[in-house]
Chain A
Amino acid sequence: MPIISGPKCTWLLLFCLCLLYLTGIWLFSEGFLLRRTELPLNSTCGDFTTEVSEHARGSCWLRPRFRKVVWVIVDALRVDFAFEAPVDRPARSYEGRLGVLRRALAEEPQKSRLFHAHADPPTTTMQRLKALTTGGLPTFVDAGSSFSSARIAEDNLILQLHGHGRKAVFLGDDTWMNLFPSCFHRARPFPSFNVRDLHTVDNGIIRHLYDEVAKDDWDVIIAHFLGVDHVGHRLGPLHPAMADKLNQMNDILGRLLAVLPPETLLLFMGDHGMTETGDHGGESESEVSAALFVYSTEPLFSKTLASEPRRLYQVDLVPSLALLLGLPIPYSNLGAVIPELFGWQDSQAMPTKPQEYILPLEALHLNALQVSRFITTYAAQHREFSAETLLKLNRALLEAQALYHSARSAMGSWNSTHETNVAIAAYQRYLYDVRKMCEAGWASFNIPMMVAGICTIGAACLWSALLAWGGHQHSHVFYSNLLKVFLGFGIAGAIGVTFLSALFGTALHDLPFHAAYGLTLSSGILLGYKAFYLSWPFLVGSMGRTIFGVNGVVSALAGPGLWLVRCLSLFSNSFILLEGQLVGFLFQSSLILIVLDAAHVCFHSTSLSAPQKQRALRVVVSVAIAALACTRTAAMFCICREELPACQPSSLLVPLPSGSVRTLHYGAAIISTTVICWTIRRFLVLHGTFKAFASPPILLVRYGFPVVAVCLGGHWGLELMSGERQATAMPRWVADIFPRIIFVLLSGGMLLTLWKPLALYTLRRKDSSEDLLTFHEATFPASQDRIREVVPRIYRSLKRDLSRSLKANHNGVQIEESSSETKLEVYGLGAPYSVVLSVFVGILIMLTALLHTPGTAPAFLLLFASMVALLELVAALSAASPDSSDARRVPLLSVVAWILASTRFFYSTGHQPTFPALQWNAAFVGFHGDHSTNMLPGLLVVMNTFSSQAIFAVALPLLLTWPFMRGVWDGDWLAVGRKGQTVNGLVNEQRESEPKMEMGLRDQPGGLSVALLRLAASFLLLQGLQLLACMLAAAWLRRHLMVWGIFAPRFLFEATGFMVSSFWLLLSVALVLHTDTRLTVWLQHLNSGFPR
């Protein structure tokens, strides 16, 4: 079997690792994210007109039974809050407070009824309100047309009321106003966010409620009280304040009952329950049990009163209310009509009028038709439900309809009551089955799936750790063996488990799940047995070296310690709310630790003189202060989450400014872009690469970047003008042309750079100098050893030429023609990797800056500056380290700082991990709303949101190459710092060891790819641990109050960010490895004769 080795092995290992992570993410989200698609269809009065009997038919579906409805929602009114206090023990604060309700039940049983309503999880107020108006089962991701705003787009009760000219008056919790903007005849919203405020909303409602009821211009009054919920959150249900609050609610109910106009239905209900600690959001019995009290001004119910309230689903209210008011049932409703509200009485009771008792049956009949229509439409578009179940349900519906028709024809005969009841029961069973099917499809966490996801990510983290620390420095054979084992076991495990599951008759659509499970399982077993057995000695050895080596205990523990703090912070909602600041703080701490480390090493180095040490220290400290200042300034760029009302967004991130602010935005954007372009260009010039005018990266930097900068200026100018009158008169293509030019230039440049990454310029010349590579020497056999000897020589010549060209003010190279022998000079051999990587970073920065508002451009400049400063610090740390054999190992602390910086700048570029904060405008940069698919806009928005992660992932290999490029810490390093020059090659001729810069990475065969693999693996490990923390937080806190507001979005953003950064990391690693291969080819070519 051929051994896959070298660059291919490295890349494949990383690719497999990323796949493993992706599998974990996919498994977890399958189990965690409750998904459902909204249908943009509405019910109308014209539907099902011929289906009902003549006497029941109204102008719209059914004849209305009530003129008016007063709908009082008491947030978190649990069903036992409405019970009597028990006699055998002292009453709790919430028991026996609603005396008016009990009295009504006892004294007017024909008018009032209490139900035990089951609220479907997630029991958060917003999701409940959605369910209570649409009749659906809300899930976390209701993928619909309006993803960005909270507005309910699905067919619902309020829309139906509004559409049919009924007037709804609203009082209370302002969540309703976001859900149904401009649907109310009159509204008095009160702020709901402050949980500590127990009375504002309630008192506000009380002030207006009775006046509103007394008026005559309404059909429905909705009043949403929040006090009970807030007392629960703040103090718990057992606190005496709960008794006061419930007494207040009792008074309101009493007063309302007294002032209700005739033909009115009163609903007094909770939207969900609460736990014994007063929280809600999950699916425990106490959270899902809500009270539903119905009071009708006309007699409606039977006289007998059951001792226990009947259990029903809360969404059952939706079809009932719609039909009672004479409205169509909302299209996506899944609730079943409550037959009691239509005069249905138990089987013993004798019918008074035949037309009356058949009414509940007619209602259920319409309801079943509507549900069946919804399910059929939904199943035609999506595949959540199995065809078998659908067929069974259809058969049940047909049977129920047969029963309905026979009951209708038997109307008035002796057994008609019995037949009606049978038909009602059949319809109820059908509706119940449909609901169960949907619940299974949409609304339950799949715990085994989540556990499988978490295990997979854990296994992937172990793998990354193994790749990062296992194995010896030079043992690329170890890695290629590892890859074989990994692939072999993984594929064998996946196939094996798939086969087994197929053998034991598991459904076919679970196949990927089983395959992934097998992959995890087998790699887990493998880890336990083979891998640790292989790598344990290496692991222990390297850990020991790190801890007891020169860098000391502090620096060995600093990286893991900081990362532990970071991961733990993801379990706290407060820290997630202020994550930007927290990550900035940790990033700055890591900078300080790096500085301390470097200073420590520097002061104990024996090779430096005292003034050199002082100078070195000064350089390091000033770079660190610059980095701190950049990060601190970047912290001022932020947008605010709605959970933090006191926060002020940065003025530069406000989308459409006016006046002088606009000029400021524009100027800052132009300056930032120019500085970034110029810095990259300068970097290339100083490394001599700029002479290689024919190579794609240089072409791009030399000609492409200025064009891109000008186009960016044009685009931003147009964007800032877009609010103006002149802008609307402009043809469409004018706004699109600039971004399109940039897209074409940059993506073309990127592809060309990937194709030909090497930027070298060779010059043949005659020179008498002895240490140049001669033609004679270059014709030696192309062995690896020869190449290694050749490189320093080439380098020396490069150096000399550089110094000469510097003296000549970059005017070109003086060619001396005094000698007879042909010599060769090569430009750009000092930093082939860093050059190509920095060009890529430049491309990405431009590309993502294009997708942002012009005000964000300074944040990109800060990002760039922080990145360079961090690289300089890391290089200083490495340069100070006297043990140069360890230079290929990037310290963990640097990688930690790198990821912290990428998260910090995610916030600074104007993002937050919440869905309302997504910048949808990015989807229309260069495309004026003419998207045919969702792919391209999705891609643009993802690029916009995770720009910082992408840039830092692409630049990651710089952590490895930069210290090599900067060289060791001798006279040069300091001279560079002092004079501010970045010419790295100018060493004293006296020194024995020649700095080989990035050529030093190629000292050992396969050294670069192993070092790169380790760096990437430790990056993936840290990212994976962060992801794991997010997953554990979301899974563990899945009943937390804020899981859908904070933890679940945080997980989603983390997962997407992980995918984005692993994609760019793979690309960047491939780029470096490709450069390396090309370089080897070039050197071999050089050895066998001069390239033409």
Chain B
Amino acid sequence: MEPLTTNCVALAALLVAPVALWAGPARLGPHDRWLLVSVLGSGGTRLAASVLGARSTNRRGAGAGRLRVAVRGGAYFAASCVALHVLTVLFGAPVLELATDTFLFALLLATYTALPCLCLRGPNLTRWVHLLVGSWHGTPSERATRVVIMGSLSGAWLGAFPIPLDWDRPWQQWPITCTVGATLGHGLGLLGACALLLAGRGKPRHTKKPI
């Protein structure tokens, strides 16, 4: 799949996800349902795009190698979930109470940030860091991914601000504002990424470095 298409599909998945607020198993709360659908939609799109892309270019080689990459990728994703959970707690989330919600938030954030890294750069931490703090130059898809990641992170950051206000609304409870903020930021990031990719279309493409 083209990166542009991937971003558009991911955006569509985010837009559709709020349907889960009204439908789905009643055992989970509406927020949890929505969150899980968002995670599945966004993550599924990314994964599908990555798998399709790998199959079309077929540069991964044999099945065993692909499996190893998949396993390592899964481990990296799980580790980034845990790392984001720890970071969230360090930033002030409660340690023990609401731990499930905190973890769900970390899962959502990992889907919005770590998964794009994983799909673009594979399971390699140094490359992730390069992607995150690298210079502004790079291939359009790198720039697009960086916009998406930064959007999600700053959305989650901004989402923490309504929590202490004395409005006494049920949605001020941790982590609802942060998940919503992260999703909004992610959506804006996807829009920005689409715009970047569209703008970069006319220009001659950089030669892609082998990953």
Contacts and interface: CB of A to CB of B under 8 A. Distances in A.
Contact of B92 (A573, A581, A603): A581
Contact of B133 (A574, A578, A596): A596
Interface string B41-80: 0000000000000000000000000000000000000000
A629 B90 contact: yes
Interface stretch (A583-591, A758-766, A819-827, A917-925): A583-591
Contacts of A596: 132-133
Interface residues of B, number: 18
Contact of A614 (B90, B126, B134, B168): B126
20 contacts: A574-B166, A575-B165, A577-B164, A578-B164, A584-B92, A585-B91, A585-B92, A588-B90, A588-B91, A589-B157, A596-B132, A600-B135, A603-B129, A603-B133, A603-B134, A614-B126, A617-B129, A628-B87, A628-B90, A632-B90
Contacts of B89: 632
> Which of B87, B92, B132, B135 gathers most chain A CB within 10 Å?
B92
A851 B18 CA distance: 55
Contacts of B132: 596, 599
Nearest to A573: B166
Contacts of A631: 90
Given A572-B165, A577-B164, 4 more contacts: A574-B164, A577-B166, A585-B160, A603-B130
Contacts of B166: 573-574, 577
A599 B130 CA distance: 9
Interface of B: 87, 89-92, 126, 129-130, 132-135, 157, 160, 164-166, 168
Contacts of B164: 574-575, 577-578, 581-582
A589 B91 CA distance: 8
A584 B92 CA distance: 8
A373 interface: no
A600 B132 CA distance: 9
A196 B129 contact: no
Interface in A591-621: 596, 599-600, 603-604, 614, 617
Interface string A358-377: 00000000000000000000
B134 A632 contact: no
Contacts of B135: 600, 604
Nearest to B91: A588
* Dominant secondary structure at the A interface: helix
Contacts of A585: 91-92, 160
A293 B28 CA distance: 57
A600 B157 CA distance: 20
A635 interface: yes
A577 B91 CA distance: 18
Interface of A: 196, 572-575, 577-578, 581-582, 584-585, 588-589, 596, 599-600, 603-604, 614, 617, 625, 628-629, 631-632, 635
B124 to A, nearest CB: 12
A1047 to B, nearest CB: 14
Contacts of B126: 614
> Of residues A196, A614, A632, which shows the largest number of chain B Cβ atoms within 10 Å of its Cβ?
A632
A196 B157 CA distance: 30
A577 B165 CA distance: 10
B165 A574 contact: yes
Nearest to B157: A589
A582 B168 CA distance: 18
Nearest to A598: B133
A603 B138 CA distance: 14
A196 B160 CA distance: 25
Nearest to A600: B133
Nearest to B135: A604
Nearest to B130: A603
A635 B92 contact: yes
Q: Which 3 residue pairs spanning A and B have beta carbons closest together?
A: A578-B164, A628-B90, A600-B133
A628 B90 CA distance: 6
Contacts of A581: 92, 164
Contacts of A614: 126
A812 B87 CA distance: 46
A961 to B, nearest CB: 28
A635 B94 CA distance: 11
B16 to A, nearest CB: 32
A384 B165 CA distance: 41
A600 B130 CA distance: 9
B165 A196 contact: no
A198 to B, nearest CB: 14
Contacts of A573: 166
Nearest to B126: A614
A498 to B, nearest CB: 47
A584 B130 CA distance: 28
A1042 B132 CA distance: 44
Contacts of B134: 600, 603
Contacts of A628: 87, 90-91
The residue among B134, B157, B164 with the most chain A CB atoms within 10 A of its own CB is B164
A632 B92 contact: yes
Nearest to B166: A574
A581 B161 CA distance: 11
A574 B172 CA distance: 13
A581 B91 CA distance: 9
B160 to A, nearest CB: 7
A618 to B, nearest CB: 10
A631 B165 CA distance: 22
Nearest to B168: A196
A574 B167 CA distance: 9
Contacts of A625: 90
A55 to B, nearest CB: 59
Given A578-B164, A582-B164, A599 B92 contact: no
A578 B161 CA distance: 11
A581 B90 CA distance: 12
Nearest to B134: A603
B153 to A, nearest CB: 9
Contacts of A582: 164
A84 B94 CA distance: 55
Contacts of A604: 135
Contacts of A584: 92
B133 A599 contact: yes
A625 B168 CA distance: 33
A604 B130 CA distance: 10
B125 to A, nearest CB: 9
B178 to A, nearest CB: 12
A599 B135 CA distance: 11
Contacts of B90: 588, 625, 628-629, 631-632
Contacts of B165: 572, 574-575
A578 B90 CA distance: 17
Nearest to A603: B133
A631 B129 CA distance: 25
A635 B95 CA distance: 12
A865 to B, nearest CB: 15
A585 B168 CA distance: 21
A599 B129 contact: yes
A831 B101 CA distance: 49
A623 to B, nearest CB: 14
Nearest to A632: B90
Nearest to A579: B164
B58 to A, nearest CB: 30
B60 to A, nearest CB: 25
A578 B172 CA distance: 15
A604 to B, nearest CB: 6
Contacts of A574: 164-166
A432 to B, nearest CB: 42
A797 B191 CA distance: 61
B90 to A, nearest CB: 4
A580 to B, nearest CB: 10
A950 to B, nearest CB: 26
A604 B129 CA distance: 12
Contacts of A588: 90-92
Contacts of A578: 164
A247 B15 CA distance: 50
